[in-house]
Each structure stands twice: as C-alpha cells, then as structure tokens.
Amino acid sequence: MSVKDSIVQLIDQENVLRVPVTEATDLYKDLHLDSLSFVSMLLAIEERYHITIALSQMQDCLLVGQLIALVEAKVKERELHD
Amino acid sequence: MIRDALLARWNQDLPAVLGEEHPVTYAQLAERAAALQAVLPREKDRPVAAILLADGSDFLCALFAIVQAGWIAFPLSVHLTAGELSDLLGRAPVQTVITCEALGPLCQKAVEGSASTPQIRYMETLPPLSPPWPDIQAADPNAPMLLLASSGTTGRAKLVQLSEANVSFNVNAYLRHMGYEKYQDPAVRYALGTPLCSIYGLLVSFSCVVRGFPLFPMAQGFTLDTLYRAAQEHGISHYDGGTLVAVLMDRTRNHPIPYDISSLRYFGFGGSKVPDGTLERLSTAFPSIRFWSGYGMTEASPLIAQPFRSLPPDKLGSVGVPLPGVKVCLETQAGRTSEPNRPGEIVAQGPNVMLGYYGDEAATQEILRDGWLHTGDIGYFDNDGYLYIYGRKKNMLLVRGFNVYPEEVETCLQSCPLVTDCMVYGFEDQPGTEWVGADVVAATAEVTPASIQHWCATHLADYKCPRRIRLVEKLEKTATGKIRRAQEDAQL
C-alpha cells in the first residue's frame, strides 16, 4: 500500500463525521480532530514508517496533503540512509 | 476582593494578556473594562449579563466590567450551538449579551431562539471612556456574582450561582497553595489550557489579576507546539488546564523539543484524572518542572483539594490535601468518615461551596443534602491525609476536559427524527481519553450512524457529539422504563 493510501486509511479511523478525505482536508477544521487524536495519529504513522516527526513539523501538516508530503519525504530520506 | 482586583491595576503597564497581536497591559485592560462598565446601567436588582466571547482580553474586559457594575456575569462557551445557547439564555433573566462581531450571527440566532430578549452589545462599538471612571458598585459579597452552566443529570443545564466570597476564598487558597516564593519562581507567567468561561479558567484568571501575573489563554486549538513556543517567546512559567497536555507531553517526551522551555516551572492539572504513571514519567523527563493535580468542581468554585506548596514524589497520583477551611469527608454506607483507606463519595463543606442552582431548589437540595456538597466522585484518603480520586458515582463523562452528561445527549438524540431510542455512555480508546458513545435504535432501516452523527453536529457542541454510534435493535430497560445504563457501562 502506498504512503498516501496508508495515511488516508489511518485518517479514516479518526474520521467520525465520515466526510470525504482529500488532500485539501483540514484535520482540525473538517474532521474535528483534537490535538490528542492528531498527535496519536502522527505517533502511529511514526511507528509504521520508522520515522520521527518533530514537534514543530506537527504544526505544518494539518492538511492531509501536507501530511502525506511530509511523510513521503521522511520515508524517502530514511530509505536513502538505510 | 475580586471585583476591584483589575481596577487596582489601572496604572500598571505590565502585560496582562499575552498571545494577542500586541500584549495587552493591565492599564489597557482596566480602561477597556471601565469603558464597558460605563454603558451598563446601575440597577438595584443585580441584572445578568452573558458573555459570548472567545478567550482573550475582550473576555476579561467584559467579565470585570460586569462584576464592577454590580451585575452577575454569565460566561457562555463559544463551542455551544445556537440552540444550546438559546436554552441557557432563557434559563436566567439575562438583560445583555456581550459579544463581538465575529460571533454576532451565532449570538443573534441564539437570542432569537431564546425565551428572553436580551440586548446584544458588541465589544467593537464601545464608546470611548471619558473621566471620571465609573465607581465599582457596592455589592453584597455573599450575593451571586457568577452564573455558570453545569450540565445536569436530568438532561437540562443547571446554573451554578457563585458569590464573590466563594470565588475570593478559592483564589486566596489557590495562591497560598502555589508556593511561588518557596520555589523562587523567577517571573510568573501563566498559560491557560482551559477555557476562560469554565470555573477553572476563571479561578486562574482571577488569581492572575489579583497577583498581577500575565496570562496567555491557549485552550482554543491547543497544541503542545503552541505551549512550547509560548514558553520560549513569552517566558511562560506556569501552566494550568486539562490533563490533555500531560498525555501529549508523555506521548512525545522522547521527541526533541525545538524551543527553549527552561522557563517552565509548574504544570497544574484538573478536570479529569491523569492516567496512572504519567506524572511520574513526566517528573523524570522534566526534572525542573513540578507536576501537580488538583480536584474540584464548578459547585465548589472549583477547588476542593490541591497540593499545599509541595507534593512528595510518592504522592503524585493524589490530588493533594483539602483546602484549609474546607471540610472533606468520604460518605460510605457506614456514614461519613475522614479515616484513611475508606473509599466513599467525596463530600465537602466550606466557604467555597456554591449558593445553589439558580431557579432549581430541588436540584440544590439534592446535591447539598445534609449541608454537604455531594461531588458524585469516589475517593479515599491515604495515611498521610492525601486525597485520591478513585472513580465516579455520578453519571458524567469527561471529554477533553468538558463535562458531558449522557442524559443531555440522550435528550437531544431522542428529538432526532432518525432515532427511536438511544443510550449514551462513555468509552476510552486509549488511557486518559473519554469519548461519547451511543447505542441507537434507528427509526428506519435506511438510517446510518453517519446520518445521526451529522444531525448531532448541528445540534450539539462538538465535544458532546457521539464519536461512536452503534445501531441496535432494542435497548434493555428496567421495570420503570429506565435504560440499564450501569449494566451497559459495566459490559463496556
């Protein structure tokens, strides 16, 4: 499964209102995630991809597209180092 | 006391509110509060003014203007829907609602749907203040000063009446307990992670004004990054608020923090119990920070117990000791006791206990029976007199620090045309997080959980909306037709 599909699947687990998830979806405003759900989801992503998302970066991935781009970049970076 | 605390700082150019475009000084805050007070007419009977404002300096201006004018302040949550606000506005003789243009449409809708017709006043259209400033109106310290909505177990909100004496007692006790001088906290600057309209937020705000500390309200859209950045940029030393921040700090304690947070000295938590072991891990990870939990409820304005100037490492799981002057006992089947290791319902007596619920004598008698405030929480004292919270007797959920009564959500769901019957309960998907769940008997076969959730989103504040809805064929009832919630909770 691609990073994008995998992240969308994780988000869907938190998607209480069942709104369609696109790259423009705002996790706070559209999905009403609170900070705990948001951080828990990011930690699950970290664990799944063996990456670390810095606290300051967490602020910059509130849009699904931003989150996917960040994780893809970190996965690529990790693969280069491996 | 409390009502004159802001005016006493009328000439102080110290920062009062942080986190806005420009820091707001105490002098500016006092002047704006006086300007608003000047337009509130003097009246013999203490009128009620509601506040519908987001957290920030406008909220504090409105709060102090109202109490300086001798009126009763009725803070409302901006998270509520227009319908919920209408209901609250119709429950008390609200003469004025103070709001801002951004919240104007919500406020107007709420007022239109309300049984009363209060005047709406916008913060943006305050006339300039010309000297002399209005006097603080004399008011009986034992008369109501605050009205606070507390969801009731009958599904309708109750309005807690707190006097200036109630609040003043608690503010003084809080400040005495903190031990700023003992710990030589260099420059006390508060971050507040709970809404200003809650009694916890009000306690910290009043305490800050009494001592002249700057306050950074950050409950709205709270993130750890905001807090850590505020620590670096504003030198935040103290945090008070919900337990969410403890859970977040615990989960991310192995992440490097890209800010200088060396100014942080103290974290105080309330609202719900911090998951076991969390404070011990945080104390190890952040050795220069004190992590304390307190205990209280709106009806006790709010503090009942708090660590007194210190908390031994082996007592981190406790909520401290009863406030001096507040009598706390455990009500057991064998009677009231303060002996160690005897779990029972926590009951309290003291100057912090509310005057009663507005217009609801029956509910007041129920919670204040035999002269004791019955908290509905189960606790026990250890051998050293520290109080531990053990569980809840009352049927209340704590969602992100907000109180949610299942009956209130059920009342709402039962008015939904998609629902024939329902039962609302709490569930945890991870330690320290409680959510609203609902079992629903659908009105037709076509009804989906999503359609019910959409309906809830337009009728209930977001924290009250069920996160999980299960469709069931029927609900088990008692002989008198009541839902067997206790059994369902136990199964969950």
pLDDT, tens only, B335-371: 999 999 998 999 999 999 999 999 999 999 999 999 9
Is the per-residue pLDDT at B423 higher than 70? yes
Query: Is CATH 3.40.50.12780 what the domain over B166-392 is classified as, yes or no?
Result: yes
Does the fold of domain B166-392 match that of domain B7-139?
yes
For residues B477-481, average pLDDT: 52
Provide the residue ranges of all domains of chain A, joining segments of one domain with +. 3-81
pTM: 0.85
Mutate to test the interface with A, among B225, B250, B427 (most CBs of A within 10 A): B225
Q: Does B400 touch chain A (CB under 8 A)?
A: yes
Average pLDDT, chain B: 89
**B283 or B394, which is more confident?**
B283
Q: Does B453 touch chain A (CB under 8 A)?
A: yes
Band the pLDDT of B298: cuts 50, 70, 90: very high
Band the pLDDT of B310: cuts 50, 70, 90: confident
Provide the residue ranges of all domains of chain B, joining segments of one domain with +. 7-139, 166-392, 397-491
Residue of B nearest to A32 (CA): B462
Shortest Cα–Cα distance, B453 to chain A (Å): 6
Q: Does B467 touch chain A (CB under 8 A)?
A: yes
Residue of B nearest to A14 (CA): B467
Q: Does B128 touch chain A (CB under 8 A)?
A: no
pLDDT, tens digit (0-9, with 9 covering 90-100), for A10-28: 888 776 666 788 889 888 8
Q: Which one of A34, A36, A58 has the shortest CB-CB distance to B225?
A: A58
Is the per-residue pLDDT at B480 higher than 60? no
Report chain B residues whose CB lies below 8 A from the CB of A60.
none
Please name the helix (run of DSSP H) or strand (run of DSSP E) that holds residue A69, with its range, or none.
Answer: helix A64-81
Q: What is the ipTM of this complex?
A: 0.72
User: What pLDDT, on a 0 to 100 scale, did the predictor assign at position B490?
Assistant: 35
User: What pLDDT, on a 0 to 100 scale, did the predictor assign at position B483?
Assistant: 59
Angle between helix B224-234 and helix B244-251 axes, rounded to 10 deg:
90
For residues B161-183, average pLDDT: 94
Nearest to B436 by CA among B151, B86, B146, B77: B151
pLDDT, tens digit (0-9, with 9 covering 90-100), for B46-80: 899 999 999 999 999 999 999 999 999 999 999 89
Is the per-residue pLDDT at B491 higher than 50? no
Is the per-residue pLDDT at B131 higher than 50? yes
CATH (one of 3.40.50.980, 3.30.70.2860, 3.50.50.60, 3.30.565.10) for B7-139: 3.40.50.980
User: What pLDDT, on a 0 to 100 scale, did the predictor assign at position B170?
Assistant: 97
For residues B218-226, average pLDDT: 86
For residues B19-26, average pLDDT: 93
For residues B421-428, average pLDDT: 87
Shortest Cα–Cα distance, B247 to chain A (Å): 8
Q: Answer yes or no: are the C-beta atoms of B57 and B24 closer than 8 Å.
A: yes
Q: Which one of A16, A36, A43 has the shortest CB-CB distance to B467?
A: A16
Angle between helix B199-211 and helix B164-178 axes, rounded to 10 deg:
70
Q: Does A58 touch chain B (CB under 8 A)?
A: yes
User: What pLDDT, on a 0 to 100 scale, did the predictor assign at position B48?
Assistant: 96
CATH superfamily of B397-491: ANL, C-terminal domain (3.30.300.30)
Does the beta-carbon distance from B467 to A52 stay under 8 Å?
no
User: What pLDDT, on a 0 to 100 scale, did the predictor assign at position B155?
Assistant: 53
For residues B321-325, average pLDDT: 95
Of B151-155, B195-199, B224-228, which gets the smallest average pLDDT?
B151-155
CATH (one of 1.10.10.10, 1.10.1200.10, 1.10.630.10, 1.10.1740.10) for A3-81: 1.10.1200.10
Is the per-residue pLDDT at B282 higher than 70? yes
Shortest Cα–Cα distance, B433 to chain A (Å): 9
Is the per-residue pLDDT at B193 higher than 80? yes
Is the per-residue pLDDT at B287 higher than 80? yes
Q: Which residue numbers in chain A have pLDDT < 50? A: none
Q: Give the number of A-B residue pairs with CB atoms closer than 8 Å.
A: 55
pLDDT, tens digit (0-9, with 9 covering 90-100), for B26-41: 999 999 999 999 999 8
Does the beta-carbon distance from B255 to A54 stay under 8 Å?
yes
For residues B378-405, average pLDDT: 84
User: What pLDDT, on a 0 to 100 scale, did the predictor assign at position B482?
Assistant: 53
